[in-house]
Chains A and B, each alone.
Chain A
Amino acid sequence: MAREQLKNLTEPMYYILLALSEPQHGYGIMQEVEKRTEGRVKIGAGTLYNLLSRFEEEKFIVQLSEENRRKTYTLTDEGIEILTEEYQRLKQLVSDGSDFLEGRVR
């Protein structure tokens, strides 16, 4: 059921998982997302905390270490899988749109 709810990732969810392709701590994720999206997507600390808890519950991410009460996370195989599924879905959306829209935009 929970997995079902996360079938379509929101933009912040997608970028958080993407940022965790490499081990990161909370604030590192926030910086990475901001950098990757050139400031377009900003994630608040409270929102990030809640999403990390949820991802951990769903076993999409796992805690690697804790230094000075700073937890470091990384993606699990399940996390990679859901991220890949989302990537495929987004790619399909772009592909479907381009067939019709590319010609019009030009």
Chain B
Amino acid sequence: MKNKTKRVFWGFFSLDYKAMGEYLEEMAEKGWMVEKVGRYTAKFRAIEPQKIKFYVDVFKEGGPLTPEKTESSEEYRRLCQESGWTFITSLDYLQFFYAAGDSEPVPIQTDEEIEQKIVEHTLVRTELRGVLIFAILAVYILFRIIPVRYTNLLRFTGVISTYLYPVLCIFTAIPAVYIIVWMIKARRNIKNGLSIAKPTLKSARRRIRAFYGSVWIIVLLYVLSFIIDAFFMPGIVVYILLGPGIGAIFGSSIRYLVKKNKISGDSVLNYIVIGTIIILIFIWVSGPSILEKTEDIYKVDSIPEGYPIITLKEISKESSQRGELSREFRRSMSPIVPKHHTYYEYENLGDSSKSIRIKYYEAINSYFADIIFKGITEELEKGMKWRGMTIFTKNIITDDEMRKLWDMDNLALTEERDELIIQKGNIVLHVDNYSEVMDFNDIEIRELIISRFFSDSTVEN
């Protein structure tokens, strides 16, 4: 019994610190005494069920980057101990104390005006700072995903980001709204000579459910999306997770060192700045090599069934002289584009080479196919940014007569006629013809492409 411990989820908003005491009292009556409180979990030890009083106070000299034990915190805790409150643990600014159930110690805070000012300078400021950082990040990400980018429609994580990220932003605004309402109410109450409203455990629990419930559902969807995407494109997923992964490990390490008093003062900020710079350089340097190393997994000998392609052999009108052949195939899926694949074939003929690249997109309807078609043409027109320069920009032309001949909803070509983008119904096809292995005006080529890729297109009226 003595050594029996358990961890429970701890989702309280820091401003609900007064409700935490009520919760801990409830737990003690059930036979669980709190030992340690973390950001997301709390550790409890089994005891004889009993009445214990708890007090959760806000210590203005605490904080996420302050060691657990400092000279001032020791002095403060000693003062509390002498007045009848025994220190248990701390979480940033929050300090947890207990007293015997039948004792009547003086509450740790007896001046609500001072208490309200401390809370505003500590909890409210920290929470608002967090919300502000998130808001800046959210606006940046929203600008990157809206208007809808066709590349985001091709991956599960992309679709989730495009359509659920704005919802996530709204839910994470809940704490900000709560903080502001709390601050206004507390100021008004103090001004009118009233007490700071004590949140009930019930209302604190309701906030936990509303916030974490929704956020968890979205996070779970993100995790599932990552797993599915990792199956199709492991390199990109590793690259995306590299930054947050290293960042989380680095952040936790810094926090641990600060809490254990191994580093303090200005050196904390120096460590954070230097560490962040090293991480960014590492990602910048190692990212391309990670992506490159995973390239080989796409080299294939055979193509899975159900994924249409055309080969160099089929379109080549020249002699049957064959060179060394290299084939790459990559596929992915998403709820909006259930089938998407890229096929690349390269033939080394010694003194020359031939290649063909096709990108096939099968969306759930023509609306999304239209977004993909426009996205590809805009991307070609914009070109690529490289070391401050824009390279590979293409002029896109439309040929209405050709579109009618091909019987397509949309048709676009690069001015050099080395790339063709066509859309019919829910299907989009992008063909690269850099080595000019085919003539897009050739009737046989046209019929081959139409019969191979567009026989199943869904045309909506």
| A complexed with B | yes
Count of A-B contacts with CB under 8 A? 61
Partner of B75, one of A10, A47, A49: A49
Question: Nearest Cβ distance between residue A36 and chain B, in whole angstroms?
Answer: 15
Give the size of the chain B interface in residues (CB under 8 angstroms).
22
A37 within 8 A of B: no
User: B111 and A45: CB pair below 8 A?
Assistant: no
Partner of B108, one of A46, A69, A70: A46
Question: Nearest Cβ distance between residue A42 and chain B, in whole angstroms?
Answer: 5
User: B110 and A12: CB pair below 8 A?
Assistant: yes
A30 within 8 A of B: yes
Q: Which residue of B lies closest to A49 (CB)?
A: B76
Partner of B80, one of A43, A46, A69, A70: A46
B285 within 8 A of A: no
Q: Which residue of A lies closest to B78 (CB)?
A: A69
Give the size of the chain A interface in residues (CB under 8 angstroms).
18
The 10 A-B residue pairs whose C-beta atoms are closest, nearest first, are A44-B110, A27-B82, A46-B108, A45-B79, A45-B80, A45-B83, A26-B79, A47-B111, A42-B106, A44-B108
Q: Which residue of A lies closest to B77 (CB)?
A: A45
Cα(A32)–Cα(B76), bound, Å: 18
B334-358: CB near A (< 8 Å → 1, else 0) gives 0000000000000000000000000
- 27 A-B residue pairs with CB within 8 Å: A10-B111, A12-B110, A26-B78, A27-B79, A30-B82, A30-B83, A30-B106, A43-B106, A43-B110, A44-B83, A44-B108, A45-B76, A45-B82, A45-B106, A45-B108, A46-B57, A46-B108, A46-B115, A47-B109, A47-B111, A47-B115, A49-B75, A49-B79, A50-B114, A50-B118, A69-B74, A69-B78
Cα(A49)–Cα(B82), bound, Å: 12
B107 within 8 A of A: yes
Cα(A62)–Cα(B413), bound, Å: 83
Within 8 A of B (CB), among A6-23: 10, 12
Question: Nearest Cβ distance between residue B63 and chain A, in whole angstroms?
Answer: 15
A80 within 8 A of B: no
Contacts of B76 in A (CB 8 A): 45-46, 49
Q: Which residue of B lies closest to A41 (CB)?
A: B110
Cα(A69)–Cα(B80), bound, Å: 14
Contacts of B59 in A (CB 8 A): 46
Contacts of A50 in B (CB 8 A): 60, 114, 118
Contacts of B57 in A (CB 8 A): 46
Contacts of B78 in A (CB 8 A): 26, 69-70
Q: Which residue of B lies closest to A26 (CB)?
A: B79
Contacts of A27 in B (CB 8 A): 79, 82-83
Question: Nearest Cβ distance between residue A56 and chain B, in whole angstroms?
Answer: 11
Cα(A46)–Cα(B78), bound, Å: 11
Contacts of A10 in B (CB 8 A): 111
Contacts of B60 in A (CB 8 A): 50
B44 within 8 A of A: no
Cα(A26)–Cα(B79), bound, Å: 6
User: A51 and B83: CB pair below 8 A?
Assistant: no
Q: Which residue of A lies closest to B81 (CB)?
A: A45
Contacts of A42 in B (CB 8 A): 106, 110
A56-86: CB near B (< 8 Å → 1, else 0) gives 0000000000000111000000000000000
